[in-house]
């Protein structure tokens, strides 16, 4: 069998440190990947004069699997978000954001294990119909949901639930007010849910979902929802388990996937060996599951859990006194 090639974008700020940590761990468990390194973000702007060079896009398309560190989008007009550009270009329609609580961290609850499956290309973030009147007094934007798009994301959520032995899928919507867009999403969610009698299907209005997540998160298993609601709810879920440093994200399309840390490039701690590499390590765990390498994924997740829960060489955001390299070594020692 030919070796799996992975495109690696180390990213900006703390990106290179935390991605190097993840690569050491992948190598340690014997993944035997070949890596093609590519630039994007600030680094690419400095080296190639553009945020997303064609060479990088070609490598993402060629290898089909990418591990990506956080990217800095320069502030100012003329720079569109690199992440949004990548999702659109490669039709990465599913954004998968799992959260898992570890004992001994700032997690608000124990035993949280929730996956948000967010539609990644439509709804309020499609960028359609953005108009501001000449005098600046009115602004409008279009939200568009298609039946195909809703079917794809809801089916993705149920298939994931079945594959992972999960029990329940909750469709989150605002169909009582947004009758056309959220209404279509809910209609499709109900139809698809009927095809999966082995999985409990529930539905919840988005504002109530926010309150329920804070007060009684254990009722949730898989959440499936539209783009804007998924963006907000998945950050809320990350807050339940100690913040964005603990949250990975997978962007999955029909034949291409990008796995990433959810947080940004943290310029305030860049180059200081202070960053917690957990989210990008968990993103590489998601990548292994996508590649049907679940044994190796489980090994890494278990080692990470032992390090975080024992407090052995943890980083400052986790209450420890160590840096990225010590934390990584603690995980490597357990593998």
Ligand X SMILES: NC(=O)c1ccc[n+]([C@@H]2O[C@H](COP(=O)([O-])OP(=O)(O)OC[C@H]3O[C@@H](n4cnc5c(N)ncnc54)[C@H](O)[C@@H]3O)[C@@H](O)[C@H]2O)c1
Q: Which listed range, 30-38, 218-226, 258-266, 284-292, lies at the site for ligand X (CB under 6 A)? A: 258-266
Look up 207 and say whether it is catalytic: yes
275 binds ligand X (CB under 6 A): yes
268 binds ligand X (CB under 6 A): yes
CB of 36 to ligand X, least distance (A): 19
Nearer to ligand X, 188 or 244 (CB): 244
Show Cβ contacts of residue 323 under 8 Å, excluding neighbours closer than 6 positions. 272, 273, 274, 315
CB of 81 to ligand X, least distance (A): 8
296 binds ligand X (CB under 6 A): no
C-alpha torsion angle, residues 6, 7, 12, 16 (rounded to 10): 30
Nearer to ligand X, 63 or 73 (CB): 73
Nearer to ligand X, 269 or 297 (CB): 269
Report long-range pairs for 298-306 (Cβ below 8 Å, ≥24 apart). 299/29, 299/335, 300/25, 300/29, 300/331, 300/335, 302/334, 303/25, 303/331, 303/334, 303/335, 304/278, 304/331, 305/102, 306/334
39 binds ligand X (CB under 6 A): no
Nearer to ligand X, 118 or 174 (CB): 118
Look up 174 and say whether it is catalytic: yes
260 binds ligand X (CB under 6 A): yes
Query: Which DSSP category does 3 fall into?
Result: P
d(CA 151, CA 154): 5
Q: Which of 122, 234, 276, 286 binds ligand X (CB under 6 A)?
A: 276
Q: Comparing C-alpha atoms, which of 17, 18, 71, 66 is closest to residue 43?
A: 71
CB count, 10 Å around CB of 332?
A: 16
**How many residues sit close enough to ligand X to count as binding (CB under 6 A)?**
20
Burial class for 312, CB neighbours closer than 10 Å (0-12, 13-18, 19+): middle
Look up 231 and say whether it is catalytic: yes
Nearer to ligand X, 14 or 188 (CB): 14
User: What residues act catalytically?
Assistant: 125, 174, 207, 231
Give contact residues for ligand X (rule: CB under 6 A). Answer: 14, 18, 70-73, 83, 244-245, 260, 263-269, 275-276, 317
């Amino acid at each position: 069998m030919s070796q799996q090639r992975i495109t690696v974008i180390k990213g900006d700020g703390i990106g290179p440190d935390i991605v190097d940590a993840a690569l050491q761990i992948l190598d340690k468990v014997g993944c035997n990947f070949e890596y093609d390194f590519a630039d994007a973000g600030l680094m690419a702007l400095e080296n190639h004069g553009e945020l997303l060079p064609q060479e990088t896009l070609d490598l993402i398309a060629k290898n089909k699997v990418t591990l990506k560190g956080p990217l800095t989008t320069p502030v100012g007009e003329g720079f569109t978000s690199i992440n949004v550009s990548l999702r659109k270009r490669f039709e990465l329609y599913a954004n998968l954001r799992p959260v898992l609580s570890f004992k001994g961290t700032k997690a608000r609850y124990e035993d949280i294990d929730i996956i948000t499956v967010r539609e990644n290309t439509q709804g309020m973030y499609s960028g359609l119909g953005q108009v501001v009147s000449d005098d600046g007094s009115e602004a409008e934007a279009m939200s568009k949901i298609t039946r195909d798009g809703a079917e794809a994301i809801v089916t993705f959520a149920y298939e994931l639930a079945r594959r992972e032995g999960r029990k329940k899928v909750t469709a989150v919507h605002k169909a009582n007010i947004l009758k056309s867009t959220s209404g279509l999403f809910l209609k499709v969610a109900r139809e698809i849910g009927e095809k999966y009698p082995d999985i409990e299907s529930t539905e919840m209005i988005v504002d109530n979902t926010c309150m329920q997540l804070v007060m009684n998160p254990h009722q949730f298993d898989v959440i499936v929802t539209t783009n804007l609601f998924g963006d907000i709810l998945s950050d809320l879920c990350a807050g339940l388990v100690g913040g964005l440093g603990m949250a990975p994200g997978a962007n999955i399309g029909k034949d291409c996937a990008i796995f990433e840390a959810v947080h940004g490039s943290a310029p305030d701690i860049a180059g200081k060996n202070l960053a917690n590499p957990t989210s990008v390590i968990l993103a590489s765990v998601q990548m292994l599951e996508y590649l049907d390498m679940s044994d190796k994924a489980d090994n890494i997740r278990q080692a990470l859990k032992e390090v975080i829960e024992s407090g052995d060489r943890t980083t400052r955001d986790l209450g420890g006194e160590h840096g990225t390299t010590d934390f990584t070594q603690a995980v490597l020692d357990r593998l």
